[in-house]
Amino acid sequence: MGEKVIVRQNNRFETEILALDPHYPGAHHFYPVGDVRQLTPYGMLLAGLGSCTAVVLHTYAQHHGVDLREVELRLQYDRVFADDCEDCEGIEEYREQIEAEIVLSGELAPQERKRLLRVSRHCPIHKILKQGIEVQSRLAEDL
């Protein structure tokens, strides 16, 4: 199972989200997402991560005089078997993974590109995913 989403954002914070149809594993055509309900929960997670990262990058660039014109994040979520479980008879453990490829457009020096990559890791959603977050669920009391 895998999901792919592309998030594009210009320096006016106009954002476009594209996704592959997760119901067709062989799909290669990304379609524009006009409504978040078109995405699966995994697609929503990728779109949130990509949008947050793009906002962080553009905000940093604008406050530090960096000529960042557009950011494109190519995000992929997948579950992969643990290396030591390739020949297991039963599926008991997966490793979940998100890959993010960041395309930066603008007149950027190599050191600015490296700095923007470091800045991209300051996105709050990136931090939550990397460090984890405790979720406490309970039933609401009847009113």
For residue 104, the domain's CATH number is: 3.30.300.20
What would the pLDDT profile of 83-135 be if each residue is shown by its tens digit? 555 556 666 667 789 999 999 999 999 999 999 999 999 999 999 999 999 99
Kindly state whether residue 138 falls inside one of the protein's structural domains.
Answer: no
Q: How confident is the model at residue 14 (pLDDT cuts 50, 70, 90)?
A: very high
Q: Report how far residue 34's alpha carbon sits from residue 78's, in angstroms, rounded to the nearest whole number.
A: 23
36 close to 44: Cβ distance less than 8 angstroms:
yes
Kindly state whether residue 61 falls inside one of the protein's structural domains.
Answer: yes
More confident residue, 26 or 39: 39
The residues, ordered by sequence, that sit 6+ positions from 8 with a Cβ below 8 Å of its Cβ are 15, 16, 17, 18, 54, 70, 71, 72, 73
Kindly state whether residue 141 falls inside one of the protein's structural domains.
Answer: no
Kindly state whether residue 73 falls inside one of the protein's structural domains.
Answer: yes
Kindly state whether residue 10 falls inside one of the protein's structural domains.
Answer: yes
Position 49 scores a pLDDT of: 97
Structural domain boundaries enclosing 82: 2-131
Kindly state whether residue 6 falls inside one of the protein's structural domains.
Answer: yes
Strands 94-105 and 2-10: unpaired
Number of folded domains in the chain?
Answer: 1
Residue type at 81? F
Q: What is the mean pLDDT of the chain?
A: 89
Kindly state whether residue 108 falls inside one of the protein's structural domains.
Answer: yes
71 sits in which H/E element: strand 70-81
Q: Is the pLDDT of residue 1 over 70?
A: no
Q: How confident is the model at residue 18 (pLDDT cuts 50, 70, 90)?
A: very high
